[in-house]
Copies of this chain bind each other. A is one copy, B any other.
Amino acid sequence: MDGTRRPTLDTAFTALSDPTRRAILARLVIGEATVLELGKPFKMTQPAISQHIKVLERAGLIARRVDGSRRPCRLSKPGFEAIDQWLAVMRKAFETNYDRLDHVLAEMKSEK
């Protein structure tokens, strides 16, 4: 992706563990925003917001593009897809053996 190093699940999940960074991502759901625009609703200092954005960018969760003198941020699909792929393996477990196990455990309880 644009010559940057490949983000890992480690950096992605670490990036998501912070409530401010999740709030930044939630703001970006409604559309692109510059660092300045992102800073306003969060009442943060520019360096603080820039630091959070760097973490999100390195994690592959946001991307920036050049638009004249502006560098708007947006959500980056590949980063979220990598997380989704990992979580899909977990979801599979609930769809198959785990639901069956729930059933068995419920039966064991009702037999007592």
Contacts and interface: CB of A to CB of B under 8 A. Distances in A.
A91 interface: yes
Interface residues of A, number: 36
A90 B26 CA distance: 7
Q: Is the interface of A mostly helix, strand, loop or mixed?
A: helix
Contacts of A29: 89-90, 92-93
B10 A18 contact: yes
Interface of A: 9-11, 13-14, 16-19, 22, 25-26, 28-32, 65, 74-75, 77, 80, 83-84, 86-87, 89-94, 97-98, 101, 105
- Sorted nearest first, the 3 A-B pairs with minimum C-beta distance are A13-B17, A29-B93, A13-B16
